[in-house]
Amino acid sequence: MPTIVMKFGGTSVADLQRIENAADKVIREIVRGNRCVVVVSAMSGVTNQLVSWVNSLTPDYDAREYDAVVATGEQVTAGLMAIALQKHGIKARSWQGWQAGVISTTAHGRARIQDIEAERLERALAKGEVPVIAGFQGVTAAGRITTLGRGGSDTSAVAFAAALNADRCDIYTDVDGVYTTDPRICKDARKISRISFEEMLEMASVGAKVLQIRSVELAMKRGIKLQVLSSLEDKIGSDLPGTLLVKEEDVLESHLISGVSCSKDEAKITLVGVRDMPGFAASMVKPLADAGINIDMIVQNVTADGNATDMTFTLSSADLHKAVKALEGVADKVMTDDKVAKVSVIGIGMKAHPEVALTAFKAMADANINIMAISTSEIKISMLVSETKADDAVRALHSAFELDKVEKTPQILKVKHKEGR
Ligand code: ASP
Ligand code: MG
């Protein structure tokens, strides 16, 4: 019997009616002969509320207690969903992260799953129960509750799919898939039917917030078939109505660009007049790394006078305050700007097409948008622009690469689904 992990995000369980709709989808999958494992988020808005309560008491909170508070959102939904299923005669049972054997690191607030001890869950499944698991939660070896970082229930779902050897992991959310860009910014955005894990990772890392990035990394590593689809539409996952994440080689006709993404939660820091000498980059990055801060685009100017140079890098604006503190003493002058955005074009097709950069830069020039920094990878070109220009930049790039016009859905080879076997 095929096993499907069905994950419902916050908007998909936002109220009792939506919880009942989600339960209905689970029942329809069961009727089709699938074994279902349900993973739920907190009802929408709940986690934000819990986080803000903690922050209102003190920004210097004990992260263990932050986790004790914010993990409760998922507990409520798991119980409600189990009841909604039981109403229809389904043998459902709620599971907290610790009950479901989600062993995590001790990095409270951003813990990582180390292992899932799935024996108890497997026994429940064997008895015909439908587990309804609180996503986002783990437990340390010492028995403290942890949470997996915002959006972490996606990662919970993929981790359970891996641990239980599931045939597919369906992530139900409030959009019907991954789009060529944010439809709120560009009305011509189109749904992508198939995207490679690699492209999706780039989309996620630069701000397409459909899936937590770690969930995509894990799915890629473990070969989990992952689908993003809408819970607000009538279709169920087995009809494959959403966006399927597949291996790169499963995309037959490679296309130049898959999408344009935009991250506005960006800030930039410039260290002015730093010594141009061996070891400086390391001395700058070390305190940031020690503080757990990721930095991204790093630009070092060529020294004009042979002594001093400027170093600019970007980071999440949420980390700006912490970063400035960590950098105390590293440079005489630190300039910050959190009114910046990172706009990126992403596509596996660009590997073989150097003209992509030209098209991108020309689109920005034609739209009269200044590029402050550029970074590239094999399948991505990112540009840092003023936040006020970010939406224009997205629209300019989307149309320059004709993402609105081209039927960009590539044909797919070898996407086998084991359902119905
Ligand atoms: N409820 C958590 C959050 O809002 C986890 C999740 O929904 O994935 O971040
Ligand atoms: Mg989410």
Under the banding of pLDDT at 50, 70 and 90, the label for residue 24 is very high
Length of the chain: 421
Q: Work out the mean pLDDT of the chain and round it to a whole number.
A: 91
Could you identify the atom of ligand 1 that is nearest to the CA of residue 48? Answer: 4
User: Considering the entire predicted model, what is its pTM?
Assistant: 0.80
pLDDT tens for 80-126 read 999 999 999 999 999 999 999 999 999 999 999 999 999 999 999 99
Which atom of ligand 1 is nearest to 149's Cα? Answer: 9
Ligand 1 pocket member 160 (CB < 6 A): no
* pLDDT number for residue 413: 35
Q: Tell me the per-residue pLDDT of 64-90, one tens digit each, with 9 for 90 and over.
A: 999 999 999 999 999 999 999 999 999
Same domain, 193 and 270: no
313-317, 349-353, 367-371: range with lowest mean pLDDT: 349-353
**CA neighbor of 187 nearest in space, from 410, 399, 11:** 399
Number of structural domains (the chain) is 2
What one-character DSSP code corresponds to residue 109? T
Q: DSSP letter for 143, please.
A: S
Phi, psi (rounded to 5 degrees) for 320:
-60, -50
What pLDDT is stored for residue 302 in this prediction? 78
Mark which of 250, 265, 295 sits at the end of a domain. Answer: 250
Instruction: Tell me 237's DSSP state.
Output: G
With a cut of 80, say whether residue 406 has pLDDT above it. no
Pair (222, 115) in one structural domain: yes
Q: What pLDDT is recorded for position 307? A: 79
Q: Is 151 in the pocket of ligand 1 (CB under 6 A)?
A: yes
Q: Is the pLDDT of residue 412 over 90?
A: no
The CATH number that applies at residue 12 is 3.40.1160.10
In the predicted structure, residue 419 carries a pLDDT above the cut 60: no
Q: What average pLDDT does this structure show over 347-374?
A: 93
Q: Are residues 225 and 330 in the same domain?
A: no
E strands within 154-233?
Answer: 168-173, 178-179, 191-192, 194-196, 226-230
CATH number at residue 270: 3.30.2130.10
Domain that holds residue 386: 252-421
Place of tokens 């800030």: 267
- Which residue puts its alpha carbon closest to atom 8 of ligand 1? 151
Q: Hey, CA dihedral for 91, 92, 98, 103, is it positive or negative? A: positive
Ligand nearest to the CA of 231: 2
Q: Where are the beta strands (DSSP E) in 182-303?
A: 191-192, 194-196, 226-230, 243-246, 259-275, 295-300
| Of 150, 171, 218, best ligand 1 pocket probe by most atoms within 8 Å of the beta carbon | 150
Whole-number Å distance between alpha carbons of 219 and 155? 9
Model confidence at 330: pLDDT above 50:
yes
Last residue within a domain, chosen from 210, 230, 250: 250
Dihedral over alpha carbons 128, 8, 227, 160 (to 10 degrees):
-50
Q: For residues 320 and 237, state if they share a domain.
A: no
Is residue 41 lining ligand 1, measured as CB closer than 6 Å? yes
Write out pLDDT tens, residues 212-235: 999 999 999 999 999 999 999 999
From ligand 2's centre to the CA of 362, what distance in Å?
34
| DSSP track, 331-371 | -SEEEEEEEEEEEEEE-GGGGG-THHHHHHHHHHHHTT---
CB-based burial, 228-267: b 16+ in 10 Å, e otherwise: bbbbeeeebbbebbbbbbbeeebbeebbbbbbbbbbeebb
Atom of ligand 1 nearest to the CA of 42: 1
Amino acid 420: pLDDT: 36
- Note the pLDDT tens digit of each residue in 242-273: 999 988 877 655 567 889 999 999 999 999 98
> Which residue among 250, 272, 292 closes a domain?
250
Identify whether residues 22 and 74 lie together within a single domain. Answer: yes
Q: Do 419 and 274 sit in the same domain of this protein?
A: yes
Residue 410 Cβ inside 6 Å of ligand 1? The answer reads: no
- Tell me: do 196 and 260 sit in the same domain: no
First-residue to last-residue Cα distance in the chain? 7
Indicate if 155 and 145 belong to the same structural domain: yes
User: Domain check: are 111 and 180 in the same one?
Assistant: yes
Q: Is the CB of 97 under 6 A from ligand 1?
A: no
228 in the same domain as 260: no
pLDDT digits 0-9 by tens, 193-209: 889 999 999 887 666 67
- The finding on whether 241 has its CB within 6 A of some atom of ligand 1 is no
Question: Given a cut of 50, is residue 408 above it in pLDDT?
Answer: no
96/212 same-domain check:
yes
Ligand that comes closest to the CA of residue 47: 1
Taking the C-alpha atoms of residue 251 and residue 244, their distance in angstroms, rounded to an integer, is 11
| Residues in CB range of 45: below 8 A, 6 or more apart | 10, 14
Q: Indicate whether 44 and 120 sit together in one domain.
A: yes
**Per mean pLDDT, which of 39-53, 189-203, 286-300, 343-357 is the most reliable?**
39-53
C-beta 109 within 6 A of ligand 1:
no
Q: Atom 9 of ligand 1 has which residue's CA nearest to it?
A: 150
pLDDT for position 303 = 73
Q: What angle do CA 135, 219, 32 make, to 5 degrees?
A: 70
CA 168 to chain centre: 18
